[in-house]
Amino acid sequence: MRSLSLLAGVCLSVNALAAVPANEPVQPIAPAEITSPAKVELGKQLFFDPRLSRSGFISCNSCHNLSMGGSDNLPTSIGHNWQEGPINSPTVLNSSLNLAQFWDGRAADLKEQAAGPIANPKEMAFTHILAIDVLRSIPQYRDAFKTVYGSEEITLDDVTDAIAEFEKTLVTPNSRFDKWLKGDKDAITQTEREGYELFKSIGCVACHNGPALGGNSFQKMGLVEPYQTDNPAEGVAGLTGKDADRFKFKVPTLRNVELTYPYFHDGAYWKLEESVDVMARLQLGRKLSDEEIGKITAFLKTLTGEQPSFALPILPPSSNDTPRPQPFE
């Protein structure tokens, strides 16, 4: 009996594998490999520490909220003094897979990105020098940096390195779609499978491919038909000044897209169905039926992976020497 069951299991497995076409343009998300737990723990504390902001109120997690798909679920973010941010806050989940960071790719990697919001007057509105002063005034941080980087000195380079190292752990493996990719044919429904086939056949996959289904190229928003928005962001052209780069943005990942509403660089669309419709019309010149939109949306929801699970970090207290936050000055 026992070997019969085993055999049945093997047959099922072979069937399941046979059902998955080879050479898919999407690959599963690999789980995080943590080689330096102390560095990741330090980075986690820094990610959650609002003392890296002028107000003492805004942390990385405020706009890349790990309870909410690594985003803030707002059209554009709330910054220091309740300033309205210029652009939708991209998810930090799987962001290590991006070819560059920010919508316009102006940071080469997560480490470079992490320094940006701290000193951006519309975001955390601090200065790097003051942020470092705060950390240096806290004995437990000095100890942690010494353990991880061999020195109590604490530099911006170390701070952003630790934050980036934590962020690299924020991957979301084992989505239902990844299980299907790996051979479990029952992991997604027939409708979801049809959605995936449509996603490929109508051309979504031309930009949304690879393990993150995006994040690996810059593309023009409004390729066939212009995108209507009040948002003044010009994308890569803001960096290069080239007309050819106007409205060229990094293609966002579709991993966990069910959690990262509202959509597009201006956060103007809340519903996944509407976003699929807009994308098909503007990028592919194609008007999808409600049924097609429903199928693609169903597929997109299979991309929700295991969210990073960890204990809420407990932050070390300020000392008598810690510069005080200035929320209302």
Query: Which candidate in 41, 123, 167, 192 is catalytic?
Result: 123
Name the site residues for a second copy (rule: CB under 8 A): 48-51, 55-57, 62, 65-69, 72-74, 78, 81-82, 84, 258-259, 261, 270-271, 273, 307, 309-315, 317-318, 320, 324-325, 327-328
Tokens of residue 251, six digits: 């293609």
**DSSP for 156-200, written as a single string:** HHHHHHHHHHHHHT------HHHHHHTT-TTSS-HHHHHHHHHHH
Supply φ then ψ for residue 235, to 5 degrees.
70, -145
State the minimum distance, in angstroms, from the CB of residue 320 to a second copy.
5
84 a catalytic residue: no
**Rounded-to-integer distance, Cα 191 and Cα 244, Å:** 39
Neighbours of 52 (CB within 10 A): 26
Nearest Cα to 135, choosing from 321, 326, 282? 321
- Classify residue 259 by its DSSP letter: G
Contact status, residue 175 vs residue 299, Cβ threshold 8 Å: no
Contact status, residue 168 vs residue 96, Cβ threshold 8 Å: yes
**Rounded-to-integer distance, Cα 203 and Cα 198, Å:** 8
State the minimum distance, in angstroms, from the CB of residue 276 to a second copy.
13
Indicate which residues carry an active-site annotation.
Answer: 123
